[in-house]
Amino acid sequence: MSCAPHLHDLARNARGYAPRVPSIFSRIVAGEIPAHRLREDDRFLAFLDVRPIRPGHSLVIPKEEIDHFFDLPDDLLADLMVFAKPVANAIRSVTGAARVGCAVVGVEVPHAHLHLVPVDSVGDLDFRKASEADQDELSALAERIRAAL
């Protein structure tokens, strides 16, 4: 039995093969799934993670669905980091964290994304600590972060 994907399971996008079914992040971009949006423009979206490691844990994504973070074209990758900068600063300001750590993992959702996690020590950046967040708390935190932007 072959593990190779069948051609009918793949669709061609501008940068290569991508899953035919939109990722959960593409569905958030499209408004099909609600999210606590922090910042948005025509190319990027930042929103709170619903399973945060710590309060303020956010995700920054390109709206274009590209699976691997380091497959992003150089200009898009650079612009994503510039887009993320004020979000990270607002997270740090609102949470009082010493720093905002960044992580690129990319195994849970086939859509490039950058984790922004408020940290006070290296041990804070531990994905095993992730847990479901209360939606009302996320909503209030998102409002505070947006106000700090």
- The whole-angstrom separation of Cα 5 and Cα 104 is 25
Question: What does the H/E/C string look like for 68-96?
Answer: CHHHCCHHHHHHHHHHHHHHHHHHHHHHC
Indicate which residue of 36, 57, 111, 113 is catalytic.
Answer: 113
Residue 113 among the catalytic residues: yes
> DSSP assignment of 4-56, as one string?
SPPGGGEEEETTEEEESSPPHHHHHHTTSS---EEEE-SSEEEEE-SS-SSTT
Q: What is the DSSP letter of 135?
A: H
Instruction: For the chain, give the number of residues.
Output: 149
Q: Which helix (H) or strand (E) holds 115?
A: strand 114-119
- The whole-angstrom separation of Cα 115 and Cα 102 is 5
Catalytic residues: 113
